[in-house]
Structure 1
Amino acid sequence: MTAHVDIRTGTATADTKPTRWQDRTGRVLMAITAAATLLPFAEGLSRLGSLPDDMVLTEFWRTCAYIVFAGMWALLAVAPRKQRGMWELLLFHKIVVTVQAAFVLDIPHATRTLIADGLVSLTTTAAYLLCRGWQSWRRGALGPDDNR
């Protein structure tokens, strides 16, 4: 941990970068989560042929969303403090889906959704804390050209 002085306020602040093991662990969690998300993508593709016509487009949209989520987690694994807002979007989505599933446990696949989205909520939260994901909001965190 190094200290620096905030130019605007003149106060000393602690720059708390994650340790090497914290950063690696968080990145690995995001890489595993990204890879694991490819499984429901493949499962969704395999179901498309057996769906009634009125469900194909909705199921295809849902299935393709897994690739978007896998990509978001992969981007966080590569650059966890350069993705402003992505952590928070992922956490919001996964947490609210988990909560919703908990309220509708009597419908098909709710328990499965509760477990799956609950687990990725936990892995994403853990990685966010380990990698210090909130630091992407610091001025200059995205690079010198980002503060125009």
Structure 2
Amino acid sequence: MNTVTTPRVAPARWADRTGRTVLAVDAVATLGAFATGIPLVLDAPDEHVLTEFWRTTAYLVFAGLFTLLAVAPRKQRGLWELILVHKIAVTGFALIVIDKPAAVLTAAIDGVLVLTVVAAYVLCRGWRAWRPAQLDRT
């Protein structure tokens, strides 16, 4: 007897739950980074206040992106990849300028985010967002 197996479209429940939890933790941690940025904005000299504000509010954007992925990981076409491109670029640049202030911390934090997003991408099968017609209703 010849059996044909169809590839599983959705991840196993445990993998999906784990990946979504990792993304939720990333979102909460990013909100923490936003909170630590507020005093930096308030204390920034006039020539840097707008840059500090922009950087600090960007944490809210990333917290939102992580939340969107946690809620619907296989319905966000391109979002995974955009986040990874940004986090890999920041990590890489921080490593290039490792002797600059905060470069080690930035490389470590964004490097961890690269690892957690890649892990969640694999666990949640994030690449399936590009094939929405094949998705099951999870």
TM-score surpassing 0.5?
Answer: yes
Aligned twin of 1:125? 118
- Name the counterpart of 2:26: 33
Question: 1 CA distance for matches of 2:30 and 2:19?
Answer: 17
What amino acid is the match of 1:58? T
- Measured in 2, the distance between the counterparts of 1:15 and 1:107 equals 47
Answering whether residue 87 of structure 2 is matched by residue 94 of structure 1, we say: yes
1:6 corresponding residue in structure 2: none
Hey, which of these two has a bigger chunk of strand by percent?
1
- CA shift for structure 1 position 25: 0.3
Offset of residue 139 of structure 1: 4.4
Look up the match of 2:128: 135
1:104 and 2:97 matched: yes
Match of 1:68 among 53, 58, 61: 61
Q: What is the TM-score with the length of structure 1 in the denominator?
A: 0.85
Which residue type is aligned with residue 68 of structure 1? V
- 2: distance between equivalents of 1:107 and 1:53? 22
Q: Match for residue 72 of structure 2?
A: 79
Q: How many residues align?
A: 132
Give the residue type in structure 2 aligned to 1:132.
R
Q: Percent identity?
A: 56
Deviations 1:88-147 (A, max 9, x none): 00011001111111111100000000000000110000000000000000142689xxxx
| Alignment check: 8 A CA contact 1:82 1:141 kept | no
1:105 is paired with a residue whose SS is coil
**Greater RCO structure (CA 8 Å; 6+ sep):** 2
Between the aligned partners of 2:124 and 2:93, the Cα distance in structure 1 is 28
Residue 52 of structure 1: aligned partner:
45
Q: Quote the RMSD (CA, aligned, Å).
A: 1.5
5+ residue gaps, structure 1, are 4-13, 144-148
